[in-house]
Structure 1
Amino acid sequence: MAYEQWFAYPSYRPNQRVMLEAVERCVRKGEHAVLMVDAPTGSGKTSAISAVLAAKGARRVVIALRTTSQVEGYLSEIRRIREHTKKRPEIAYLVGKPKMCPIAGEFENPYAGCELLKILTKNALEARMRALGRERYTVEEDPVLTALLEEGRGTHRRACPYYARSKSALLRDGKVVVQPSERAMRDAARVVHSVLSPSELKKTCERTCPYEVMAVAARFSDIVVLNYHHVLDERMRDVVFRWLNLEPENTVLVLDEAHNVGDAVRSINTARIGVRAVGRALSELDVLSKGELDAAIMDDVLMTRGVLKRLTEYVEHMRERKPDDVLDPHALCDFLFAEVLERDDEHMVVRMLDLVEVIRQHKRSMMEFPEVHLARIAEFLRLCVRAKGDETCLVAKGEGDELWAGVIDPSPYLRRLVDSVSCTIMLSGTLSPIDAYELYFFGESGRAQKLVLPNSFPASNRLVLASKSATTLSSMRNDPHNISEIEEHIRGLIEGVDGNVALYFTSYGMLEQYRAFCERCASKSHKRVFIEPKETKAIPRLLSEFFECASGRGGVLLAVCGGKLSEGVDYAGRSLEGAAVIGLPLSAYTEVQRRINRYYVRRHGRQMGMLLAYTLPALNRAMQALGRVIRSENDIGVLMLCDSRFAKSGVVEYLPSWIRDEMRLVDGAECSMIAGWIGEVRA
């Protein structure tokens, strides 16, 4: 098939040809086809881009990633294609702006600093152009603005020198229009003919903005790498696709780490508010009211101010409710809108959204960062109004004074997405059971073609254990015998594996319950203990030190399933040789979870409904955690499922087939076998 001309490796991994052929067929077909690929680590999923390129024809390719760390994998793949075949695909990416920005370190929030400097710079370009009486203007022709660009640092800057050199201004129909400068176009031409990492990009764009240059390159490259928000947020997708000259019907979409897309859609379509957010929105109205407003806008301001004051009362009144208590959207809307004459809830929200744009324009005119706090409030209220007649939308209490409103079913959004593009390739190592994921993503069977690949790594290199009796069921959590069983499983892993191990607990509370025991076992084995930090910024240093332990006696990482360290981290080589999931990581059985369960049971029946709503997310969290261990065919590792429910009906049949086939049931005492198994495999 045609992918062979694009394939950049001397040989194929087991089952890799099957995947590439399926991808090529799907892309050639187009017609809004969807292919879901469940391919365990080591299957060569990234090489699927060779089959996409072979079959795309004149269409363009969009790759959507969950994290910026995944960009390098695709850049490496394109480099290999260019080096080892006669093909020269061009790739651009618009992810990781802080890594691209030459002055990101000057700001606490690089995104906010960038947006504000863009406004200041555009205003400066327009002012100088009009002052000089020109119809076309670039900063390099003007020593006055050139000098201004070098003044100040961070928030004291009056313009961004890199953005200014990336733009030129011209007069069109009496209005000043900003477009890419000739220098930016030249840099974009160089960039698109190379495959540059963010650090290399900054070196190439010595005087221009790397992000703006990459945006220019993205408008004519074969492949554009975007983040999930760019693609899964419907409003943002429309804007980004127009900006990059992407026509949906002529776009091949690749969704990487596709097991995340459903939850990503739910998160994107959830709005959270609290007293502080409402207060900031009221302050925006106060500032706007000081200017001259026409009567219609002033009416909107007065209406919105009244609603926000009542919303503050409501939020305070709900403060004592438990997190994830479901709130009545009818009662909420009655309280907020009852005093409005000629009440029309949907129309009032539309008026608020119009007011958001007025505030945004006002902030830009005042050269302020155009974040509008009222936007979040209006979105929350839009979802509240929708929840009155739509069971796929909930309003609930959050932590502290927080309230949230959001969707619980991503399928309508994902169906609209895949129906709009030429075809969609969904890649993941944990789409098991794949039929259930199809229902979760699209709400129906038969919408997608599905491919499940076996684990290509040798089974002899991994030991898969599941507990016979230990469990984290709440009724057994404080049972002395059960605690002892869990501790013996933990001891077997920490003391039996002579390298780095990780234990993923179902919650921070459970982590703390067993923390002291883990520390005693680690001390006996001369291993250092690492605790998952609450702050994201502390993670790089923790991981660096944890990886260093692999060359010594080893380290013990205590983390939470579904947390910061259980997915998206590459534990390559011997950096992780054993992992245990302590407990079946089900979501807390709150009122919100019960409502979600009821919705899916009504839609898909009890067995499948409970799987989609409750069990499937837990299995995904567990598989992602265990998937950190075996990352190459030469890796050796121990995978432990420390909860008897993993081996029981209702769960075990939904585990990946290779785990079911290799799983050994053990009690706590039998976990002492781990040390002997490690020795035999390494011998």
Structure 2
Amino acid sequence: MATTDDYMRFFPYEEPYDHQREAMGTIREALGDERDVLFEGACGTGKTLASLVPALEYARETDKTVVITTNVHQQMRQFVEDARAITAQERIRAVVFRGKGSMCHIDVDYEECQALRDTTRDLVDKEQDVADLERQQGDLLDQAQDGDADAVEARNAVMDELRDLEDDVAEIREEQSICDYYYRNLTTDTTEFYSWLFDDVRRPDDIYEYAHERDLCGYELLKEGIEGVDLVVCNYHHLLDPTIREQFFRWLGRDPEDVVAVFDEAHNVESAARDHARRTLTETTLESAVDELAESDDARADAAHNVIATFLSALRTAYEDAFEFGQREEVGEHWEDLAIANEDGRDDLTLGFLREYTGPGFHEELDQALKLGRELDEQYEEAFKNGETDTRQECQTLQAAQFVSDWLAESDDLGQYPVVSVRRSDEGQGDVYGRAELYTCIPSNVTSDLFEDLHAAVLMSATLRPFDVTEDVLGLEDAETMAYGPQFPEERRRTYAVDGPALFASERDDPETQDVVAGVLEDAARMTPGNTLAFFPSYAEAERYHERVATDARTYLDEPGTQARDLRREFVDDDDGVLFTSLWGTLAEGVSYDGDDARTVVVVGVPYPHLDDRMDAVQDAYATAFGGDEEAGWRYAVEIPTVRKTRQALGRVVRSPEDFGARILLDKRYTEAAGMEMRDYAVRGTFPPEERSEMIDVDPEKLKFAMLNFYRDVDGYDGEPPRP
């Protein structure tokens, strides 16, 4: 078994914290036992290094690769810095991997890229064969000139083959599309690139710029160079998307059992897995498939047309029947779900398809559609390779047939929620059209196979508890669990639960309620020696109080669809600002507000997600899978994820031992009294015990005095404190 000294060679600083050393030992032992690890650590616990250090040592000793993955861009940048610090002390070969779309020099989609890549490689192979044959004929010519009669005959055969190959090369160059960047990858010496790549830890932007300056394809060079590396930094989709994952492991030259995965911000794996599992098919794709089949003279086209056209008709009927009075006219440019699920049987779309379908059998006709679709797809690829088309055409028949087959087989499975959505084309000005979607409610349907296949995984986050819920939802078995609370001095932080109105959606328009909330926010901003972060259940509520709160501080409003990075930069450069944003936006987690970037954070209300039919389906699926009652469904699907979001927001302040700050929960459901007065709605009990123990209940009108005392105790004010 490895000793502490074995993995400490990868620790890039003088000494780890005591809890870090303990965590590294636990993780190292778990990896040796091929056990997954659930690691919760508050900000400042050094989770990344505590996970990476033993993982790298274990991988080095057992010839494995460590993959660290996140869905937060800022964390990706932090991983690069940590990896650079490690490799400066103990050399490791590390790469940072990003999707093709952001690294392509000619801006083509994935299918076109693959076709160009295959044609280019075919050209280079043929040119290499031409060069080999030219050398052969030259040698044979020398032998023939020396009187070797057999060499003359052999050279004639080589020359015939050489002329054929030269014709093939000329045809490809004249009639087919290739990628010049990838061509240079294959025909020039790239040793210098790999020396540069592994001399440090390079960011994807660095790789793109380096390759672009030399007319090379950095993405393909990276793919060719990551085999057998020590560490890969990548996005979630490289592991959560089954198709990408298979290719990714192939590029690594590793089987899944040879990979140790570290998931950062792992509380997000649940929702990310759902996103990667969802499958959709639009009405326009179905229409294109019907048109494609109408132009085909293949004998299978009629059968394929029959089954796909029937599904198209059933989709249109399903959404038209689902519209309530006046709803069709209100449809805009964003997808809107329509309820088609039935409690007693199959969904309305499936029932409509079964009613409308006539023919020898839809299973048989779908099978013919799939076979024809695959052949058409191959023909389109060949046409693009041969230069007959400028772009790589997608086979609409194949996409439609595969989705319809999946829908009819799986739409009534446990954990699958069939959805029909509608939107209006031409940015909300055109016709209404529909989309069918298979929405996966239970993430373990996606993740359990992944975690079973990997050698082991470390899932780390500041908000993973309750561990048993995380294990159930993600399909983990017998995971090692550990949790470390805040490691900074408790006297330098305060957490207040303000006994203000319970901000149920039905109460938010009440003028008295708004007066109390606005007053608390005004007091918080006035008593804070620096910036204040205010998180709301929605962007609409953030905008409401941005307009209502009266403060001398400069106010900032985060709005949906806008670039939050610039807003954040402007806010942290201020020293007396208030930022109004949604807890479900991009600024509530994975974003650091260090030191005086933000001193106070306020979470206004209990930010439950929008409880629509889709969320009801998740609750029902969780209730069936994890307890058999509605209470379990609500707890797993709604309450715990919501409290995790709240805890993430609270973690935006107090991020170092020297830092200080106040965290405010503005809603009586957070108070201790709520557990007795309104038990069904109280949420305090969902927080971990040590976090509950720090919460101080306070009346709205007394918050300003509590904050004054706290910030004065930590010498937070420059000069005279504000008057309460």
TM-score between the two structures when normalised by the length of structure 2: 0.79
* Structure 1 residues 129 and 251: alpha-carbon distance in aligned structure 2, compared to 1, 3 A threshold: closer
Q: CA deviation at 1:450?
A: 0.7
Matches within 5 A, 1:276-675: 277-287=282-292, 289-290=294-295, 294-296=298-300, 299-320=303-324, 323=337, 325-328=339-342, 329-337=346-354, 338-344=356-362, 354=371, 357-358=374-375, 360-364=377-381, 365=383, 366-369=389-392, 377=400, 381-382=404-405, 384-398=407-421, 400=423, 401-442=434-475, 447-518=478-549, 520-521=550-551, 524-525=552-553, 527-535=554-562, 538-550=563-575, 554-605=576-627, 606=629, 607-647=631-671, 648-649=674-675, 651-673=683-705, 674-675=707-708
Picking from 55, 63, 66, the partner of 2:68 is 63
- CA RMSD in angstroms comes to 3.3
Q: Does 1:229 align with 2:237?
A: yes
Picking from 27, 45, 48, the partner of 1:46 is 48
* Structure 1 residues 315 and 367: alpha-carbon distance in aligned structure 2, compared to 1, 3 A threshold: farther
Q: 2 CA distance for matches of 1:72 and 1:556? A: 27
Helix, strand or coil: the match of 1:549?
Answer: coil
Q: 1 CA distance for matches of 2:86 and 2:465? A: 30
After TM superposition, the structure 1 stretch with the greater mean CA deviation from structure 2, 41-50 or 539-548, is 539-548
Q: Which residue of 1 aligns with 2:386?
A: none
Q: Which residue of 1 aligns with 2:145?
A: none
Q: 1 CA distance for matches of 2:603 and 2:394? A: 41
Q: CA deviation at 1:489?
A: 2.0
Helix, strand or coil: the match of 2:573?
Answer: helix
Helix, strand or coil: the match of 1:641?
Answer: strand
Helix, strand or coil: the match of 1:295?
Answer: coil
Q: 2 CA distance for matches of 1:615 and 1:223? A: 36
* Structure 1 residues 361 and 515: alpha-carbon distance in aligned structure 2, compared to 1, 3 A threshold: farther
Identity %: 23
After TM superposition, the structure 1 stretch with the greater mean CA deviation from structure 2, 42-51 or 413-422, is 413-422
Q: Which residue of 2 aligns with 1:171?
A: none
Q: CA deviation at 1:426?
A: 0.8
* Structure 1 residues 433 and 268: alpha-carbon distance in aligned structure 2, compared to 1, 3 A threshold: same
Would you say how many aligned residue pairs link Structure 1 and Structure 2? 629
Q: 2 CA distance for matches of 1:590 and 1:285? A: 33
* Structure 1 residues 13 and 375: alpha-carbon distance in aligned structure 2, compared to 1, 3 A threshold: farther
Q: CA deviation at 1:512?
A: 3.5
Q: CA deviation at 1:297?
A: 5.0
Give, as a single letter, the amino acid of the residue that structure 1 aligns with 2:55: V
Q: Does 1:24 align with 2:38?
A: no
Q: CA deviation at 1:358?
A: 4.3
Q: CA deviation at 1:480?
A: 3.7
Unaligned runs of 5+ in 2: 134-165, 328-335, 384-388, 424-433, 676-681, 717-724
* Structure 1 residues 661 and 250: alpha-carbon distance in aligned structure 2, compared to 1, 3 A threshold: same
Helix, strand or coil: the match of 2:460?
Answer: strand
Q: 1 CA distance for matches of 2:130 and 2:645? A: 60
Q: CA deviation at 1:611?
A: 1.3
Q: 2 CA distance for matches of 1:219 and 1:340? A: 52
Q: 2 CA distance for matches of 1:353 and 1:189? A: 46
Picking from 263, 267, 276, the partner of 1:259 is 267
Give, as a single letter, the amino acid of the residue that structure 2 aligns with 1:542: L
Picking from 6, 13, 16, the partner of 1:12 is 16
Deviations 1:547-600 (A, max 9, x none): 3224xxx32222111222222333334222222111111123333333432332
Q: 2 CA distance for matches of 1:413 and 1:122? A: 31
Helix, strand or coil: the match of 2:130?
Answer: coil
Q: CA deviation at 1:89?
A: 1.5
Give, as a single letter, the amino acid of the residue that structure 1 aligns with 2:276: I
Helix, strand or coil: the match of 2:274?
Answer: helix
Unaligned runs of 5+ in 1: 105-109, 150-156, 168-180
After TM superposition, the structure 1 stretch with the greater mean CA deviation from structure 2, 630-639 or 259-268, is 630-639
* Structure 1 residues 613 and 111: alpha-carbon distance in aligned structure 2, compared to 1, 3 A threshold: farther
Give, as a single letter, the amino acid of the residue that structure 1 aligns with 2:181: Y
Q: CA deviation at 1:209?
A: 1.5
Q: 1 CA distance for matches of 2:91 and 2:362? A: 57
Q: 1 CA distance for matches of 2:473 and 2:179? A: 45
Deviations 1:255-284 (A, max 9, x none): 1211111111111112345xxx32244225
* Structure 1 residues 39 and 474: alpha-carbon distance in aligned structure 2, compared to 1, 3 A threshold: same
Q: CA deviation at 1:425?
A: 1.0
Q: Which residue of 2 aligns with 1:187?
A: 193
Helix, strand or coil: the match of 1:134?
Answer: helix
Q: Which residue of 2 aligns with 1:174?
A: none
After TM superposition, the structure 1 stretch with the greater mean CA deviation from structure 2, 610-619 or 190-199, is 190-199
Q: CA deviation at 1:289?
A: 4.9
Q: CA deviation at 1:16?
A: 0.7
Picking from 73, 79, 95, the partner of 1:74 is 79
Helix, strand or coil: the match of 1:220?
Answer: coil
Q: Which residue of 2 aligns with 1:201?
A: 207
* Structure 1 residues 358 and 670: alpha-carbon distance in aligned structure 2, compared to 1, 3 A threshold: farther
Q: 2 CA distance for matches of 1:375 and 1:624? A: 43
Give, as a single letter, the amino acid of the residue that structure 1 aligns with 2:591: V
> Who wins on radius of gyration, i.e. which is larger?
2
Deviations 1:601-637 (A, max 9, x none): 3433344443112201111221222222233222222
Q: Which residue of 1 aligns with 2:225?
A: 217
Q: 1 CA distance for matches of 2:645 and 2:194? A: 40
CA contact (8 A) 1:487 1:668 kept: no
